[in-house]
Amino acid sequence: MAKPLLLLPLLAAACFFFLLASASASAPPVPAAATYTPATPTHPGAAAGCYPRLFAFGDSLIDTGNFIHYSTAPGPVARSPYGETFFHRPTGRWSDGRLIVDFVVERLGFPYWTPYLAGKTKEDFRYGANFAVASGTALNQLLFRKKHLNVGGITPYSLGVQIGWFKKVLATLGSTEHVERLGFPYWTPYGANFAVASATALNQLFFRKKRLDVSGITPYSLGVQIGWFKKVLATLGSTEHERKEIMARSLFLVGEIGANDYNHPFFQNKTLDWVKPLVPQVIRSIGLSLETLIGLGAKTLYVPGVFPLGCVPRYLFLFRNSTSAAAGDLDPATGCLRWLNDLTSHHNNLLKAKLAELRRAHPGVSLVYVDYYGEVNDIVSAPTRTGFAPATVLDACCGGGGFHNANFTIHCTEPGAVQCTDPSKYVSWDGLHMTEAVYRIMARGILDGPFAMPPIMSRCKKY
């Protein structure tokens, strides 16, 4: 039986659509300086024989500024208090401070990444690149259009597009002239970021075919990000042999991707029965992108699952009138939406099965599942163990007030928003994205374990 959705007017859903991809027409332009914060590495990872470079794909969990570079009206992420905790200004990161990938590059010994779309010189790719785009999806926009979904908020830069970016770059790093001839931007040192906020696994066309409003769906799906990666790959070696060597010695972080493929339809009042059939298609899209990277020579890929969506304050607010503990909708241990976490677990189980299938097909490739679900669930289940307050563990630090401070008719940056005094005591930053404090813990789980086995740092000596 389909779970009933809160019957919000479609216009309201579109206007305040998924903070990952919100684009306020009144938002001031973002100064170029706000998109890149250089920093001196604090950990000698690269010098100590760790991975020489990292390539990342995904959505707003690791987007360090791609979204605000392609968007003409980037919305709240371009304004304070985003970035206040660490950078002390907005940087294009959908949090109060650093993201998971920032902590990873710190440990690898790299400066903080400039986003791929803001890159300026070929030297950017010496240490890898980040193609993640907030609002990014696994499926592309066309598939959503076919389902008659509004794709206005769905970035066109799906995972497949991000892979395409990578391919082009990998083919062109031979010389500056080669980059100029192909019309690529120049990138600044130490990599670029391919992640885009609100990115999906599926592309916009998929959602359009489903008759879904895509106005809030970024066109930069996973497929688009793969396309970006191909561009980067082209710049790294002048021969196929060189590029294969680069791929074999590089670390790949593919995801989290897929959450936005479910968020976009749910926020357009689609039912669970409508959304659940998307899961196998999302997993297939992720699998195809992994196959592409493996085909290009990737040997070490870390693939995170989706975190528990049922614990996201925005969802708890959305379903506040159609959810009850008596009906078994809420998990008594956490207060999270049980049925939505079941959907998330379904996605993660299919993803783990897909990784097992790929391991059998490619025995020389290491595909490591990263348990973001387990990490966040542990925090929410026992918040005091990690320094969070039980009374507010499901509340947004900065939000529009109301239930769980997650009223999405008022954005975190707007007049009337309610902001906490200490983000480090909160799990959720703005009702959809998490705080730096949580991302630090999640990064530790992938770097040192136990939520990725083997953890990244355990492999460093081989490089």
Neighbours of 177 (CB within 10 A): 10
Please enumerate in sequence order all residues whose Cβ is within 8 A of that of 417, keeping only pairs 6 or more positions apart, or say none.
Answer: 398, 399, 400, 401, 410, 411
Q: Which residue has the tokens 């959450």?
A: 259
> Which one-letter amino acid corresponds to residue 151?
V
Q: How far apart are CA 86 and CA 424, in angstroms?
A: 11
| 443 DSSP assignment | H
102 catalytic? Reply is no
Listed in sequence order, the residues at least 6 apart from 211 whose beta carbon sits closer than 8 Å to its beta carbon are: 145, 146, 147, 148, 149
CB hemisphere CA count around 56 (13 angstroms): 35
Q: Which residues contact 246 (CB under 8 A, 6 or more apart)?
A: 53, 170, 233, 236, 237, 297
**CB-hemisphere CA count at 13 Å for 14?**
11
State the catalytic residue, choosing from 96, 261, 331, 430: 430
Q: Which residues partner with 160 through β-bridges?
A: 223
Range list of H helices, 157-258: 159-170, 176-181, 204-208, 224-236, 240-249
Pairing type for strands 366-370 and 300-304 reads parallel
Q: Are strands 54-57 and 251-254 parallel, antiparallel or unpaired?
A: parallel
d(CA 358, CA 268): 34
430 is catalytic: yes
Residue in 22, 59, 60, 261 annotated catalytic: 60
Token pair listed for 197:
């906020």
Residues 153 and 204: their CA atoms lie apart, in Å, by 9
Cβ atoms < 10 Å from Cβ of 91:
27
Take residue 306 and report the two structure tokens written for it. 């989706």
Rg (CA), the chain: 20
The phi and psi torsions of 60 (rounded to 5 degrees) equal -65, -15
Between helix 436-447 and helix 100-108 the angle, nearest 10°, is 50
Q: How many residues make up the chain in this entry? A: 463
CB 228, CB 289: distance < 8 Å: no
State the Cα–Cα distance between residues 308 and 286, nearest whole angstrom.
Answer: 19
Cβ neighbors of 81 (< 8 A, separation 6 or more) are 96, 398, 412, 413, 419
- 203 strand-pairing partners: 140
Positions annotated as catalytic residues are 60, 430, 433
